[in-house]
Amino acid sequence: MAHRNTGAAPKTGRSKKSAKKPAARAVGPDMDSLGFQAMDSNVPGLSHVILQKLNMKSYDDYKSAMDGKKKGSDFGIRTYFDMFQKMEDTFKFCVECKKLPDALPDPKSLRRCKRCQNVYYCGVACQRANWPLHKKFCKKLKLVALDRLVEWLVFTGDIPFPTETWTKPVQDVKGWEDWFAMQGQLEEKLGAVLGGRYMTLLWANAGKPRPEEGELRESVKRLVTDFHSRPVTIGLGLRLFGIEPLAKPLTVHVVGASHVETLNTRATDYDELTRMFPGHQGMEVVMVGVDVVDGPIMRPPLAALGPRGRVYLSSYKGLYHDFWEGHVETQLAARPDLVVGFHPGFHACPDLLEGWLPTLLLLRDYRLPTLFTVYNEQELKASLQILAELETRVTGCAANPFASLRPEQVYSSPNKAPAYCSSHYIAFLGPAAAEAPRVGELEGDGGD
């Protein structure tokens, strides 16, 4: 149970990510803190409420909990009811006037929108004033609130359900609809999640009525796509660059990995890649980033090749260019066939770009096939512009057919279009002037 309880912790992490503060993707040690505090710019004091609800005194406590140094019980959570309440409490502020419960004469007067059961108001006046804007997002925010609760079943292990080896070639699977069509006995598998012990416990403790089975089923499906989106997007990257997993063992680096990729991540979480490429020669996925969290996949990258027909997850806590110098160049870790960055966020502000710059230049100058994902089209454009300024050769960019279908709200400012993880991708390879004779210089004599 202690382990399950930590399910409450990633909520704030995920919300933070959705808040478009690219804190979670940070490559410099101070960025995460900046992003966390930046929630206060929309709702003053919000980051303090989160710390308080988790019984933590400071951002450092929060951070060490995220790093896996605290057990669930240290959050002061004793029961399931407690856990769901504390999660919900972090969403309690008036979306119109931004007041937190403590700022109200009666903290209990905060009321939730009945339709979406997601946003709160300090009173009727604020609710009325907010409705013209909120009505545009209320329906979507209902799904957001539902998925936020059902996500707990990812931590209990009910989601995802066991998946099947892909029966179609990768290029013929055009998106999640095709993917679900390949899952035998899908209805039975969804039924097992819906009828499971934890789903029952969830609605007994969530403080919200259990939705209809149809709504719940769709929510479970969205969370299944959310879970598999990262490995399958890696598979998409391999296909885009014509890298053939059946021909040789592969190494993939996930650059800028954080607690979003690594908290509670199990060694089997990327096994969908094996279903995607049955008979592959072995794949290693190495999570590299300063915010990588301790856990089952915190084990050193392999110097030799990974086990044939299996996916091996490993981690390195630190900056990518340090990893490159200390491990790749010294052959302690294999050179990557593909580098993937989930929402690197370097477009967001000069500080983040500065943190990413050594990595971006390294990826460009060593001509590493790279795939980055972003949350929406706006971020896509901003990222493309930076890559153009850095004179990288962008080989493709588009909507990701394997984007997460789970909508996530902009945390402290919910009345906005929700974001979807890895909604778009950018593929790039080397410098814009592809014929420039750089590769020999860099790799040949080590630049001495």
- Using CB under 5 A, list all residues that contact Zn ion: 94, 96-97, 113, 115-116, 122, 126, 138
Specify the residue, 45 or 358, whose C-beta has the smaller distance to Zn ion.
Answer: 45
Q: Which residues pair with 316 in a beta bridge?
A: 288
Q: Which is nearer to Zn ion, 115 or 168 (CB)?
A: 115
* Smallest distance from Zn ion to CB 405, Å: 21
Q: Which is nearer to Zn ion, 110 or 403 (CB)?
A: 110
The nearest distance, CB 136 to Zn ion, in angstroms, is: 10
Q: Toward Zn ion, which CB reaches closer, 137 or 166? A: 137
Do 84 and 91 meet the contact criterion of CB atoms below 8 Å apart?
no
Give 218's contacts (C-beta < 8 A, 6+ positions apart).
none
- The span from the CA of 28 to the CA of 17, in Å, is 16
Query: What one-character DSSP code corresponds to residue 286?
Result: E
In the complex, least distance from residue 124 CB atom to Zn ion, rounded to whole angstroms: 10
Beta-carbon contacts of 98 under 8 Å, excluding residues fewer than 6 positions away, are 42, 43, 44
Measuring CA to CA, which residue among 417, 414, 339, 350 is closest to residue 382?
Answer: 350
Whether the Cβ atoms of residue 124 and residue 96 lie closer than 8 Å to each other = no
Kindly state the smallest distance separating residue 145's Cβ from Zn ion, in Å.
9
106: Cβ–Cβ under 8 A, 6 or more apart, which residues?
A: none
Please name the residues in contact with 167: beta carbons below 8 A apart, sequence gap of 6 or more: 182
Residue identified by tokens 């990633």 is 10
DSSP 3-state of 287: strand
Write the single-letter amino acid at 121.
Answer: Y
**Whole-number minimum distance, CB 101 to Zn ion, in Å?**
11
Q: What 3-state class would DSSP assign to 114?
A: coil
Specify whether the CB–CB gap between 126 and 113 falls below 8 A. no
Rounded least distance, CB 90 to Zn ion, Å: 17
Asked if 157 contacts 137 with a C-beta cutoff of 8 angstroms, the reply is: no
Comparison of 291 and 408: residue with beta carbon closer to Zn ion? 408
Please choose, from the candidates 157, 146, 155, the residue with its C-alpha nearest in 3D space to the C-alpha of residue 206.
Answer: 146
Minimum separation from the CB atom of position 107 to Zn ion (A): 13
Q: Minimum distance from CB of 310 to Zn ion (Å)?
A: 45
How far apart, in whole angstroms, are the C-alpha atoms of residue 55 and residue 447? 52
Amino acid at 431: P
Residues 109, 5: Cα–Cα separation, whole Å? 29
What tokens does 216 get? 């719940």
Which one, 124 or 304, has the nearer CB to Zn ion?
Answer: 124
Given a contact cutoff of 8 angstroms between Cβ atoms, the answer to whether 90 and 18 are in contact is no
Q: Which ranges of 241-345 does DSSP label H, i.e. alpha helix?
A: 259-262, 272-276, 320-323
Nearer to Zn ion, 44 or 318 (CB): 44
State how far the alpha carbon of 182 is from the alpha carbons of 19, 169, 218, 325, in Å: 34, 11, 17, 42
Distance in Å, CB of 161 to Zn ion, minimum: 30
The least CB distance from residue 440 to Zn ion, in Å, is 60
Contact by Cβ (8 Å): 66, 8:
no
Instruction: Compare residues 118 and 314 and give the one whose CB is closer to Zn ion.
Output: 118
| Cβ distance to Zn ion smaller for residue 149 or 199 | 149
Give the nearer residue to Zn ion in terms of CB position, either 138 or 220: 138
Our CB check for Zn ion shows the closer of 40 and 82 to be 40
Provide, rounded to whole angstroms, the least separation between the CB of residue 53 and Zn ion: 20
